[in-house]
Amino acid sequence: MLDFKVTDFNNGLKLITAPLANTKAVTILFLISVGSRYEEASQNGISHFLEHLFFKGTNKRPTTLDIAKTLDGVGASYNAFTGEEHTGFYVRSASEHFDLALDVLYDLLYNSKFDEAEIEKEKGVIYEEINMYQDMPQSYIVDVAKKLFYGDQSLGRPIVGQKELIKKFQRKDFLTYRDEFYSSSNIVVAVAGGNGHLWQEKISKFFENLPAKKKNLFPKAIEKQEKPATAVFHKKTDQAHMILGFRSIPRIDGRRPILKVLNNLMGENMSSRLFIELREKRGLAYYISSEMADYQDAGVFGAAAGADILRIEETIKVILDEFQKLKTQKVSSEELIRAKENLKGKLYLGLEESFSVADFLATQQLFWEKIEDPEDLIKKYEKITAEDIQKFAQEFFVSKNLNLAIIGPFKEEEKFQKIIERY
């Protein structure tokens, strides 16, 4: 069992501390309940842009170089990330430098200067980040699929934003957004590693005076679909990239362990069904996997692949056949055991160092508002039966939930639409 403690501050902040034996490293992770789902249409990309700006200088450390020198000087690793429903910042360092790591992280979030010249310069950086993703169809296919599933809802918009909106952002927009969302009630702080003496007291000194605000909410996802849908993004490529997915369950659904086991046997490893059938047996694709994209009130489950342009139609049909098999044939006991053991092994291996422990704990607290021990998660996986998987497939892998997104040198959607309408 993991040794951890959750402390509730009076202002709503949640602190998770997890002392780890036999390590001289520590990770401090801040997770904030804000991401692209929280943005108005005119704000698309501001969560991600703000994440960038936090590293552009504070009063104490005026430039990016000053921040980098401070952390590089003690051998720390550090980064940030933005998702649809959360944003994260972390520093991993030797445990003896805990005080410095904490000071830097807090300084970035609450003392950043938001220099107007830096903001204008960073717009160019983000334009190039957008260009980079659009030149990487294996990544950009996710945005094509999100738009297909969710349209002009916040869930359907790209996390990185859109150039025509990015160029309009001003300093006051970032200050207002930061003050609205980076409040104590929206934050989970997780610390994992060695030398846990006085962690809580030290963190309390930074955050105890942060004002409490009502927790922010995002607009509920609207899912209206009555028949299969297709989206083709025309681009000259040497390979066709696709996501074929079904509307599925939200993150908080009690059937999530069923989908986790199903996902594992379908496409999470080299012995999975999709990998064996498409790559090993037929040579249709180089990369092929199944994917879960689950949100608080919506979800998608599907397959992602990069395939021969001339064989893309065959690839789609084979993937659909694999989904159909889950509905008509029960998973064998051998395959089911292998999937469960694989999940268990990956979970344990993923908790070998301080960052993964901090992330495991903080993510659960932020999204589920409770933390399950790894042993409890494994027990849930072990209870899943072949009947559970078949019943799940029969309910969700149906034509009215089906969507197909493709990037490649194709202009017509009709031929692809006809394929999925036969499902």
**Per residue in 225-264, pLDDT tens?**
999 999 999 999 999 999 999 999 999 999 999 999 999 9
Same domain, 280 and 171: no
- pLDDT at 292 exceeding the cut of 90: yes
Same domain, 189 and 255: no
Q: Tell me: the pLDDT tens digits for 315-328?
A: 999 999 999 999 99
Same domain, 373 and 417: yes
Q: What is the pLDDT of residue 212?
A: 84
Q: What is the pLDDT of residue 83?
A: 98
Is 272 part of a structural domain of the chain? yes
Percentage, residues of the chain above pLDDT 70 = 100
Mean pLDDT of 386-392: 99
- pLDDT at 1 exceeding the cut of 90: no
Could you tell me the sign of the dihedral formed by the alpha carbons of 214, 13, 156, 316, in that order?
Answer: negative
Same domain, 243 and 116: no
- pLDDT at 135 exceeding the cut of 90: yes
Mean pLDDT of 53-64: 98
Q: Which of 120, 132, 48 is nearest to 89 (CA)?
A: 48
Percentage, residues of the chain above pLDDT 90 = 96
Q: How many CB atoms lie within 10 A of CB 218?
A: 20
CATH number at residue 397: 3.30.830.10
- pLDDT at 335 exceeding the cut of 90: yes
Is 224 part of a structural domain of the chain? no
Same domain, 169 and 236: no
Same domain, 191 and 310: no
Q: 156, 176, 207: which is the final residue of a domain?
A: 207
- pLDDT at 286 exceeding the cut of 90: yes
Q: 175, 207, 239: which is the final residue of a domain?
A: 207
Mean pLDDT of 33-52: 98
Domain that holds residue 300: 229-421
- pLDDT at 215 exceeding the cut of 90: no
Whole-number average pLDDT of the chain: 97
Q: Tell me: the pLDDT tens digits for 166-203?
A: 999 999 999 999 999 999 999 999 999 998 889 999 99
Mean pLDDT of 57-68: 98
Q: 207, 239, 259: which is the final residue of a domain?
A: 207
- pLDDT at 164 exceeding the cut of 90: yes
CA 5 – CA 19 distance, rounded (Å): 9
Is 220 part of a structural domain of the chain? no
- pLDDT at 214 exceeding the cut of 90: no
Same domain, 139 and 50: yes
Same domain, 14 and 111: yes
- pLDDT at 213 exceeding the cut of 90: no
In whole angstroms, how far apart are CA 346 and each of 173, 191, 270, 352, 386?
41, 22, 14, 10, 21
Same domain, 309 and 256: yes
Which of the residues 39, 51, 268, 277 is marked catalytic? Answer: 51
Answer yes or no: are the C-beta atoms of 288 and 278 closer than 8 Å.
yes
Q: What is the pLDDT of residue 244?
A: 99
Same domain, 94 and 124: yes
Is 216 part of a structural domain of the chain? no
Same domain, 84 and 180: yes
Same domain, 267 and 125: no
Is 214 part of a structural domain of the chain? no
pTM of the model: 0.96
Q: Residues, the chain, total? A: 423
Is 193 part of a structural domain of the chain? yes
Q: Tell me: the pLDDT tens digits for 401-420?
A: 999 999 999 988 999 999 99
Is 217 part of a structural domain of the chain? no
Concerning whether 51 is annotated as a catalytic residue, the answer is yes
Name the domain count of the chain: 2
The tokens describing 235, both together, are 């681009």
Answer yes or no: are the C-beta atoms of 12 and 212 closer than 8 Å.
yes
